[in-house]
Amino acid sequence: MNRVVITGLGIISPLGNSAAEMETALHAGRVAIAPLTSVPTETLAVKIGAEVKDFDAASQFDDKKLPLLDRCAQFALAAARQAVTQSGLDLRALGARAAVIIGSGVGGITTLDECFHRLYGEGAKRTHPFTVPKLMISAAMSHISMENGITGPSFTVASACASANHAIGVAYQMVKSGAVTAAVTGGTEAPLTYGTLKGWEALRVMSAEMCRPFSKNRSGMVLGEGAGIFVIENRDHAVARGAPILAEIAGFGMSSDASDIVMPNAGGAAAAMRACLEDAGLKPDEVDYINAHGTGTPANDPTETKAIRAAFGPYADKLAVSSTKSMHGHALGAAGAIELAATVIAMNGGFIPPTANFTEPDPACDLDVVPNSARDKAFDVALSNSFAFGGHNAVLAVRRA
């Protein structure tokens, strides 16, 4: 089996639109959750979110391409360009030996929301001719494939909030097995629309004031948006061409709760972490840091705490565990990719990102959650957890290169 490394990383997020911007924000513990500006909030109960700022699509895409791109695809393609440029990999030359595997939970929901508003709200008789190619959940993947001349396996993974980790994990397995030499992979999401926000409000899992993972007074999650895209490849191939190696993907584990459509299950989450450790050949005490799923909901955080304790035993007390969703919000199908990017950026920067907005400890979340301030400490091995509605669990392990 091949070793698999990350040679390119691209990020479009509420914490910045480059790896350098995100590193600065993470180290400072900057919170990007704020009053929403992109949607009307008069009739919303939840008026906050984590929006991508300073993203000018018109300057990124020409007049012929832009009308084909939903905001979800715009994020993915912009992040992919960063990752491919950093990697220096000629994907067109690899052709069928390269893959594109992207995760997304809802795809082009902005296009769908706008379409329904025109049809049902304004009484329009027709919609834009590019509506279907813009809203389809595989659109972002398709545009990345076409722009880079990738003719190998190309598809989208949709497993709610585990979509990105599943996509990256499957891409890792394909490179590891030798099915392909390299892959462009990650996740993208742009769910900050009026209709989407009303749907999430109805679930009663949203906070109207702030995301406070693991805090006793946490009141729910806050939606975010963005994309994290990686170029991953066979380590020998990367070394031979002198590529930058940002980290090694050491393992991947997944499981299904098979229990409830919305309630998290500690047993399923623990099983995915154990499977990841086994795949990576890691002992629990070799892990330094966990980027937690950490949504800030009353149910998720104590369940994840139980799962970590079940998977790591007494060593859980020595783990640093933080939720960067406290800063960049919950980007649904892109969450795992943004959080893996945060983990790799922090690993190379020599610090552990904090759980921001922390107020008081919760006995049910009795882990070292790195409250409020980044910890200047080098770490070599980390897990990134993603647990989703439907009981989908996907965990990635990364190791310092």
Known catalytic residue: 161? Answer: yes
Q: Which of 380, 312, 319 is nearest to 346 (CA)?
A: 380
**Strand partners for 269:** none
Annotated catalytic residue within 27, 115, 143, 161 = 161
Sheet-wide strand order for 98-103: 154-157, 98-103, 182-189, 226-234, 4-12, 247-256, 392-399, 381-388, 289-291, 320-322
Q: Are 109 and 136 in contact (CB under 8 A)?
A: no
Between vectors from CA 177 to CA 394 and to CA 161, what angle results, nearest 5°?
Answer: 15
Three-class SS state of 223 = strand
Alpha helices for 224-299 (secondary structure H): 235-240, 266-280
Annotated catalytic residue within 143, 166, 330, 392 = 330
DSSP per-residue string spanning 316-330: GGG-EEE-THHHH-B
Alpha helices for 44-152 (secondary structure H): 57-60, 71-87, 91-94, 109-116, 131-135, 139-148
Structure tokens that stand for 152 in this block? 């190998």
The span from the CA of 104 to the CA of 17, in Å, is 19
Between vectors from CA 154 to CA 398 and to CA 91, what angle results, nearest 5°?
Answer: 75
Annotated catalytic residue within 293, 328, 365, 392 = 293
Residues taking part in catalysis: 161, 293, 330
